[in-house]
Amino acid sequence: MIRRVPLQDIDLEDHSFRISEELESDMLRRSLLEVGQLNPVILLRRQAHRLTVVAGFRRLTALRGMAAADAPATVCADGEVSALQAFRLALWDNLSHRRLSTLELGRSLHVLHATCGLTAEILIADYLPLLGLAPSRQVLAAYLALNHLHPVLRRLVQEGRIAVRTAERLAGYTAAVQEKMSSVLGRIRLSASLQRQFLDAVEELAQMQDARLIQELEAPEVLAVLDEPERSPFQKGERIMDVLGRRLYPRLSAARARFEADREEMGFPSGVRLTPDPFFETSRLRVEFEVSSAAHLRAVAAELHRASLETGLERLFKID
């Protein structure tokens, strides 16, 4: 039965059943001003004088902002409906008219698990497909982990800048590391696969040097890249990956840089590509070029011959 409930009786701080990530909405406030509240909120009476919000967080937040005294509501008593029954009302209410965001999917699964007490098996079999997610334990773990993310990282997930799998790994870090991660990831842009490589590299470096993850994220080279004002977040992402690569593979990176410098110095004709063994495991060098005529071939061959007389040619085959 629908009745008007004073807002002061509603506990808006109890987020046990919350699904919506964003509670503030200008359009909703305008809608309430123009045409009033179209649908009642759903409340659950869990204690004598307090009502928990099951569905309608955004409407109630807007009404409170408008200094409204009460709101039309359907009130369920604790004994009449279980937490699960109540939350299913909210879930279907949302699913019937909109797509849940990544974080809202995580919230919904968290409520079903933590508040409604559903097992992982039931969530995987029944609720992941309902929410449009693949029914696997890994997917469930990833979405549940979203609920333990630092607020800035949550925002990055919401904006689509951090992949769910990345967020799951981030959620496993301490609050301090998450905060530091948020200060780096908030300023760079990486694809999902580069995000994985980024975390791999930072973890690997920390283990190699018996250091804390935070120390790796505070390395002067990393901070210098983040502070470069003229670079875009994408460019900073590329530069950060370069920095981490050099720190992980100092000798290999130096060998690659030296090879490039020597190749430049040799003055090979443009269009001739020299490719060393990717990790210099052997001294083999692939020399490739394309010609379109006999004259072109003669010209390239002559230039190659000239380059081969350079005294530094042997350096290309020597790896230190």
Partner 1 sequence: MFLYRPEKLFVTEESWEDASARAMVDRLPGVPVQTIPAAESVLAGLAQAPDPIAQGKRVLVLARHRGSFLNPCPGAGAEMCCNYHVVNYAANCPMDCSYCVLQSFLDNPALVVFSNIDDLLREVVGRLSASPNRLFRIGAGDFSDPLALDHITCYSRSLVPLFAGRPNGVLELKTKSAAVSNLEGLHHGGRTVVSWSVNSRRVIHAEETGTADLHERIVAARRCQEWGYRIGFHFDPLVCYPGWQADYKSAVEEIFRKVDPAKVQWISLGSLRFTARLRDVMRRRFPRSRISYGEFVPGHHGKWRYFRPIRREMYASMISWIRRCAPEVFIYLCMEHREVWRESMLRVPRDAGELSDLMDSLASGCPPDSPRQ
Task: Choose the stretch contacting partner 1; rule: CB under 8 A; options: 30-38, 49-57, 204-212, 231-239.
Answer: 204-212
Q: Classify residue 264 as exposed, middle or buried by CB count within 10 Å of its CB (0-12, 13-18, 19+).
A: exposed
Residue type at 254 in one-letter notation: A
Contact 217, 202 (CB under 8 A): yes
State the binding string over 153-192 for partner 1 (x if CB under 8 A, else -). Answer: ----------------------------------------
**Which residue's CB is nearer to partner 1, number 131 or number 202?**
202
Query: What is the rounded CA–CA span in Å between residue 286 and residue 198?
Result: 30
Among 3, 98, 251, 273, binds partner 1 (CB under 8 A): 251
Give the nearer residue to partner 1 in terms of CB position, either 149 or 201: 201
Q: Does 219 bind partner 1 (CB under 8 A)?
A: no
Instruction: Report the nearest approach of partner 1 to the CB of residue 168 (Å).
Output: 18
Shortest separation between residue 268's beta carbon and partner 1, angstroms: 23
Please report how close the Cβ of residue 141 comes to partner 1 at its closest, in angstroms. 17
Q: Which of residues 111-150 bind partner 1 (CB under 8 A)?
A: none
Q: How far apart are CA 51 and CA 231, in angstroms?
A: 51
Helix (H/G/I), strand (E/B), else coil: 82: coil
Q: How far is the CB of 278 from partner 1 (least distance, A)?
A: 8
* Member of 219, 255, 272, 274 binding partner 1 (CB under 8 A): 255
Tell me which of 34, 159, 314, 320 binds partner 1, using CB under 8 A.
Answer: 320
Candidate list 118, 214, 248, 304; residue touching partner 1; CB under 8 A: 248
Assess contact for 28 and 59: CB atoms under 8 A: yes
Which of residues 207, 232, 275, 308 is near partner 1 by CB under 8 A?
Answer: 207
> Interface mask (CB under 8 A) for partner 1, residues 274-313, using x and -?
-----xxxxx------------------------------
The DSSP element (H or E) to which 77 belongs, if any, is: strand 70-77
CB of 137 to partner 1, least distance (A): 17
Query: Does position 319 bind partner 1 by CB under 8 A?
Result: yes
Q: Where are the alpha helices (DSSP H) in the chain?
A: 26-35, 57-65, 83-95, 102-110, 120-122, 128-130, 137-145, 151-158, 164-171, 175-185, 192-208, 213-217, 220-226, 233-248, 250-266, 294-308
Question: Residue 301 — φ and ψ, nearest 5°?
Answer: -60, -40
Which DSSP string corresponds to 251-319? HHHHHHHHHHHHHHHHTPPTT-EEEE-TT-SS--EEEE---SSHHHHHHHHHHHHHHHTSGGGGGGG--
Interacting residues toward partner 1 by CB under 8 A? 204, 207-208, 210, 248-252, 255, 279-283, 319-320
